[in-house]
Structure 1
């Protein structure tokens, strides 16, 4: 992360390309000591890009008065440590492209809270969209090298997964979004699970929103038909859990109702066959750092997780049409 000093202006930011700036949240008060002071951000942008910058605020948890950054601020919120729906990623790319193509002096400024994960997902997507990078792996590597000292820029597994979703749509066109039914979730471990675990399942129903509706909490019964423990493995069997679109599954230690042990996201349009598998711990999102015996043992010896799915057999035509809007971007070379 670059620490830029211009006279008395200090900005935590990085030029990913000459026209794409990634930075931390512009703050006021005490927080501006270790993030960015919004007045200094304004001074920096007006010093070098006056009337030629557009800011994208990706924070769902907070915002600020756009007038403090000249008014040209677009709020495209999604949750911290989570992916954005593919529709939102395409929307960001389109709006960024339209601004950059309007004037060769225009730049975009992208930030979330720390200016790394959510910012990285959108910036990497745009690097693919504008053909600055040829594939997701290259985009992730390039962004990491430009944004951080250790090369670890886009590290959240589900954010990386959704970048590959975006690339699939960008390269091959829209997929049909169909409703599915979860029949079981199995957790495989190399150690015995001494305490009960709980599972929460949420989804957006395929509406393209980052806001999810919780459809199941295993601690409150509902659609959990049975819980089977076989040695070191645990399987939840479900009677009627219907999902569609973006899905979040979170695993908790049942003794604690706060931070999950781990969670992960996927989209039903990208499930090939009837099994979604996480093969290793590295595919989990933000494993909990809370030191409890059960949580730490599960994470250290985590084997894999499987979500067994069955199809409803009904294509959601309105979603298919919505995703088809990307077709107009597939032919021309989108490079500013």
Structure 2
């Protein structure tokens, strides 16, 4: 009753039994701290009374001490809001969920999230594919329930990169996606169509590229007038070596203002890139896919090679004289982006840490772990 009252008095808490053994506890990023802390205590009381000590909490958000109020058994798998987790982290989450659920019939998984529900969607959709490896007939209803939760609760708020990583994960499990182990060198990022982020049209874009959530490249600031250009090319020479989970963020540096806007964001994994020319349409770009300032016909093209040497015959990509570039990237506004709270390995809480049972042999029988085992990111 107290939990019901808490949910009725605040529209912030969303507690859903996705299946009988997978529970989602979600709060919006705007949840007030006092209300959030109070609701945590109510949820902890309910879970304790209904499930005893037979549940593990998977924290998908930023690491914080008060989450332990839900339960001493907390596994931190968090990643930044609105982003997608590393492919290896998706594997680790699914493996840990499956191990715990198969250890005892009364074991329950609680997924905790503070922020956009896209995080929950990634985990639920990925586990739906993972559990399908060795699915039995009695799991059909669970898979249906997970699919319905994903479509009803997550699809409307999800990002294209999150859907892309679910596609990667499903394809690698089924074998429909073959792994590319070759290192790729990025030479050109081409924006076809100029977003209108300035009052007179055009934008002032700059790129930041991350590998495994660590910054590896920051471009200069390009000044582009929308009526003078149909596209813009940002060239990196020598080519930038990329391998693994890649995040590229394109910002607009506001003119005479200490602020910036995100033009688009895109995440991909090089293991799934088999072409040296990759194009993402507007519908494939995080943030931009529903931003009217980004043209409907707009797209972003990545030109790779297998070596750092300059690609010959690309002179046509050079920008016109109306495009100017400011290479001063010392401005804190340009340099700033921190994911320090998420660049840490999963660790069990010191108090009440649970010992993970061995991975069920059924996954090994199905070939799981070939290039996808946690700790083998070099194979991805």
2:300 is the counterpart of 1:305: yes
Unaligned residue ranges in structure 2 (runs of 5+): 8-12, 309-358, 369-380
C-alpha deviation, 1:143, in angstroms: 2.8
Counterpart secondary structure, 2:262: coil
Report which of the two structures shows the higher radius of gyration computed on alpha carbons. Answer: 2
Which residue matches 1:202?
Answer: 210
Q: 1:170 is matched with which residue: 170, 173, 194?
A: 173
Which residue matches 2:235?
Answer: 237
Q: Deviations over 1:212-231 (max 9, x none)?
A: 223232339xxxxxxxx983
Q: Deviations over 1:201-258 (max 9, x none)?
A: 2212xxxxxx3223232339xxxxxxxx983111122212221111111112233653
C-alpha deviation, 1:44, in angstroms: 1.4
C-alpha deviation, 1:126, in angstroms: 0.7
C-alpha deviation, 1:288, in angstroms: 9.8
Counterpart secondary structure, 1:231: coil
Kept after mapping to 2: 8 A contact 1:124/1:139? no
C-alpha deviation, 1:284, in angstroms: 1.3
Query: Is the deviation greater in 236-245 or in 256-265?
Result: 256-265
With the length of structure 2 as denominator, give the TM-score of the two structures.
Answer: 0.66
CA–CA distance in structure 1, aligned partners of residues 68 and 298 of structure 2? 50
CA–CA distance in structure 1, aligned partners of residues 5 and 16 of structure 2? 18
Q: 1:21 is matched with which residue: 20, 23, 28?
A: 23
Kept after mapping to 1: 8 A contact 2:179/2:271? yes
Counterpart secondary structure, 2:191: strand
CA–CA distance in structure 2, aligned partners of residues 140 and 214 of structure 1? 37
Kept after mapping to 2: 8 A contact 1:128/1:139? no
CA–CA distance in structure 2, aligned partners of residues 72 and 99 of structure 1? 12
Kept after mapping to 2: 8 A contact 1:201/1:250? yes
Counterpart secondary structure, 2:148: helix
2:159 is the counterpart of 1:156: yes
Q: Cα gap change, 1:284/1:5 in structure 2, threshold over 3 Å: closer, same or farther? A: farther
Which residue matches 1:142?
Answer: 148
Which residue matches 1:251?
Answer: 250
C-alpha deviation, 1:166, in angstroms: 1.0
Q: Cα gap change, 1:63/1:26 in structure 2, threshold over 3 Å: closer, same or farther? A: farther
Determine which structure has the larger strand proportion and give its number: 1
Kept after mapping to 1: 8 A contact 2:186/2:236? yes
RMSD: 3.7
Kept after mapping to 1: 8 A contact 2:243/2:270? yes
Which residue matches 2:271?
Answer: 269
Q: 2:363 is matched with which residue: 315, 318, 329?
A: 329
Aligned length: 292
Which residue matches 1:125?
Answer: 126
CA–CA distance in structure 1, aligned partners of residues 195 and 108 of structure 2? 51
CA–CA distance in structure 2, aligned partners of residues 200 and 6 of structure 1? 44
Q: Deviations over 1:62-103 (max 9, x none)?
A: 422454223111011211111111111111111111111111
CA–CA distance in structure 2, aligned partners of residues 270 and 117 of structure 1? 22
Which residue matches 2:183?
Answer: 179
Q: Deviations over 1:118-139 (max 9, x none)?
A: 12101211111111699xxx89
Counterpart secondary structure, 1:14: strand
CA–CA distance in structure 2, aligned partners of residues 55 and 144 of structure 1? 20
Which residue matches 2:53?
Answer: 51
